[in-house]
């Protein structure tokens, strides 16, 4: 008991003007009760401490990775600078010229070093900008998925508004990025045409049953199946992949909600009252008419009017992309068709593909909320599977390359340490004399080095002053 009482820290002396019972106006029994309550509450924070430790460790790991990447870039910069210094100083040492020529060489050297430092700084800043952009894309993608799930569960009547707001942000960004990369001919594809038709129906003609049927079939047909055809993947940090997945999966989600989960949908979208069930022939005919209108416009304004730019390679279309994709089934099939029939075969194949992908929506999905939900889960699962493959394969290969580079660095460090170890043979440096030319140290006594046991036996010699004060 004496040891326990001595091990406790001494309590601070009472302040002047305060009662001796410790809590002022409270009595001693109530003071013990308050202390017991505080101890009970303190024991309840173990879960919070565990969560804090978990997140602190992960944040610390992320900070270490970022600092490691920063150190790598700094080491590369230092190596580049040292290489330039060695080369240019070696050249300056060989120059035997008047002082004016030497000053000119020094000025050239300064300019070159300034340019190197500027390029390294620009590369460092661009890497930081790319990382920040990826973080923003990751944040927006994850929050979009979360808000979509919450809106679907709490207020499904807001889904079409969320669809419109996200498209108002993502589609202009897609147009800007594709125009910058000379990919803007992809913006004439069927998926963007269907997206525009969807917004025309939602906000301008909600009482038009023909437009509703065509948009429903195209959204559940060509757009939803494009997740499989174009191998869309859920990769949150890549804004391009997030935008592609949004275009292809949010349209069928919106029309599924309007058809099956929208409370009082007939008031907001009166076309539903006229289409309790789909007539297969009429539904395929309406969607086929809108598809043919798009195909004729695409053929005239892209494949005919812009043929020169496409054939010269200045612009890329979905047709040329799929034709050059020798790994895909479509690319191999088109390559086997004669050149003069490839465009017609491609357009006809797209029409057949569009009709075939609309059959589940016509015969099954429109009348069943269960199978509509299962269909959306299946399409979303494909994108998640593709995204998992992207992360594992791409980042796995990147990790392997980093490991290989680390092995090489360790091997080089080991070889340098072996070369820099002292030997009895002659050594040569830039401005250092050899060992043979050094003064004789045989008769001189070397200073004694303390042994490990002496250091261990005298802890006061290595104890920091702060610990001495505590002791």
- Per-residue pLDDT tens over the stretch 28-40: 444 544 455 444 4
Looking at residue 4, what is its pLDDT?
Answer: 43
Give the Å distances, CA to CA, from 100 to 65, 91, 113: 49, 16, 20
Looking at residue 20, what is its pLDDT?
Answer: 45
CA atoms lying within 13 Å on the CB side of residue 119:
10
Please give the model's pTM, rounded to 2 decimal places.
0.62
Rounded average pLDDT over 205-231: 95
Percentage of residues in the chain having pLDDT higher than 70: 66
Q: Can you say how many angstroms the Cα of residue 430 is from the centroid of all Cα atoms in its chain?
A: 48
- Which carries the bigger pLDDT value, residue 300 or residue 103? 300
Looking at residue 421, what is its pLDDT?
Answer: 52
Alpha-carbon gap, residue 252 to 361, rounded angstroms? 10
Looking at residue 460, what is its pLDDT?
Answer: 42
- Which carries the bigger pLDDT value, residue 83 or residue 179? 179
Alpha-carbon gap, residue 355 to 280, rounded angstroms? 11
pLDDT over 60 (residue 229): yes
Rounded average pLDDT over 215-235: 94
Looking at residue 275, what is its pLDDT?
Answer: 95
Rounded average pLDDT over 180-190: 92
pLDDT over 90 (residue 11): no
Lowest mean pLDDT among 230-234, 354-358, 461-465: 461-465
**Residues whose CB falls within 8 Å of the CB of residue 346, separated by 6 or more in sequence, listed in order:** 319, 322, 334
Looking at residue 324, what is its pLDDT?
Answer: 78
Give the Å distances, CA to CA, from 243 to 214, 247, 333, 356: 23, 6, 28, 25
- Which carries the bigger pLDDT value, residue 168 or residue 409? 168
Lowest mean pLDDT among 66-70, 186-190, 228-232, 406-410: 66-70
pLDDT over 60 (residue 435): no
Where residue 395 falls among pLDDT bands split at 50, 70, 90? confident
DSSP-based three-state secondary structure for 444: coil
Looking at residue 102, what is its pLDDT?
Answer: 64
Percentage of residues in the chain having pLDDT higher than 90: 41
Rounded average pLDDT over 260-275: 95
Looking at residue 337, what is its pLDDT?
Answer: 85
Q: What is the mean pLDDT of the chain?
A: 76
Rounded average pLDDT over 175-199: 93
pLDDT over 50 (residue 448): no
Judged on CB neighbours under 10 Å (0-12, 13-18, 19+), 433 is exposed
- Which carries the bigger pLDDT value, residue 226 or residue 408? 226
Of 174, 353, 139, the C-alpha closest to 247 is 174
- 159, 152 Cβ separation under 8 angstroms: yes
State which of 1-10, 107-116, 300-309, 317-326 shows the largest mean pLDDT: 300-309
User: Model confidence over 51-93: pLDDT tens digits?
Assistant: 555 556 666 666 677 777 777 777 777 777 777 666 665 555 5
Rounded average pLDDT over 444-449: 44
pLDDT over 80 (residue 138): yes
Lowest mean pLDDT among 108-122, 251-265, 323-337: 108-122
pLDDT over 90 (residue 114): no
């Amino acid at each position: 008991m004496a040891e326990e009482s001595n091990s406790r820290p001494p309590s601070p002396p009472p302040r002047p003007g305060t009662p001796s019972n410790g809590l002022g106006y409270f009595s001693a029994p109530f003071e013990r009760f308050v202390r017991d309550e505080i101890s009970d509450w303190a024991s309840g924070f173990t879960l919070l401490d565990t969560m804090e430790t978990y997140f602190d460790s992960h944040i610390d790991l992320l900070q270490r990775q970022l600092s490691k990447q920063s150190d790598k870039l700094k080491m590369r910069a230092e190596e580049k600078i040292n290489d330039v210094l060695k080369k240019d100083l070696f050249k300056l040492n060989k120059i035997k010229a008047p002082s004016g020529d030497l000053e000119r060489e020094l000025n050239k050297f300064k300019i070159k070093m300034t340019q190197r430092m500027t390029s390294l700084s620009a590369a460092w800043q661009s890497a930081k900008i790319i990382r920040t952009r990826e973080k923003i894309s990751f944040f927006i993608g994850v929050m979009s998925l979360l808000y979509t799930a919450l809106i679907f569960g709490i207020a499904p009547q807001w889904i079409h508004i969320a669809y419109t707001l996200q498209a108002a942000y993502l589609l202009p960004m897609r147009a800007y990025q594709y125009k910058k990369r000379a990919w803007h001919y992809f913006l004439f594809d069927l998926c963007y045409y269907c997206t525009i038709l969807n917004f025309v129906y939602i906000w301008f003609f909600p009482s038009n049953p023909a437009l509703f049927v065509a948009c429903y079939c195209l959204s559940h047909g060509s757009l939803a199946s494009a997740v499989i055809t174009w191998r869309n993947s859920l990769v949150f940090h890549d804004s391009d992949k997030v935008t592609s997945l949004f275009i292809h999966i949010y349209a069928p989600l919106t029309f599924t909600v309007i058809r099956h989960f929208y409370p009082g949908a007939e008031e907001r979208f009166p076309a539903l009252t006229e289409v309790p069930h789909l007539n297969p022939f009429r539904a395929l005919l309406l969607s086929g008419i809108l598809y043919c209108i798009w195909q004729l416009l695409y053929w005239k304004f892209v494949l005919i009017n812009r043929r020169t730019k496409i054939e010269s390679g200045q612009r890329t279309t979905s047709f040329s992309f799929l034709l050059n994709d020798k790994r895909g089934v479509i690319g191999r099939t088109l390559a086997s068709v004669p050149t003069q029939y490839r465009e017609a075969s491609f357009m006809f194949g797209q029409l057949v593909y569009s009709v075939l992908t609309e059959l589940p929506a016509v015969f099954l999905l429109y009348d069943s909320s269960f199978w509509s939900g299962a269909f959306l889960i299946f399409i979303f699962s494909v994108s998640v599977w593709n995204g998992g493959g992207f992360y594992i394969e791409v980042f796995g290969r990147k990790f392997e390359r980093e490991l290989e580079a680390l092995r090489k660095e360790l091997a080089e460090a080991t070889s340098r340490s072996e070369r820099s170890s002292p030997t009895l043979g002659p050594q040569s440096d830039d401005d250092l004399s050899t060992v043979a030319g050094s003064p004789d140290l045989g008769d001189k006594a070397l200073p004694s080095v303390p042994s490990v046991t002496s250091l261990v036996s005298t802890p006061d010699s290595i104890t920091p002053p702060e610990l001495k004060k505590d002791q």
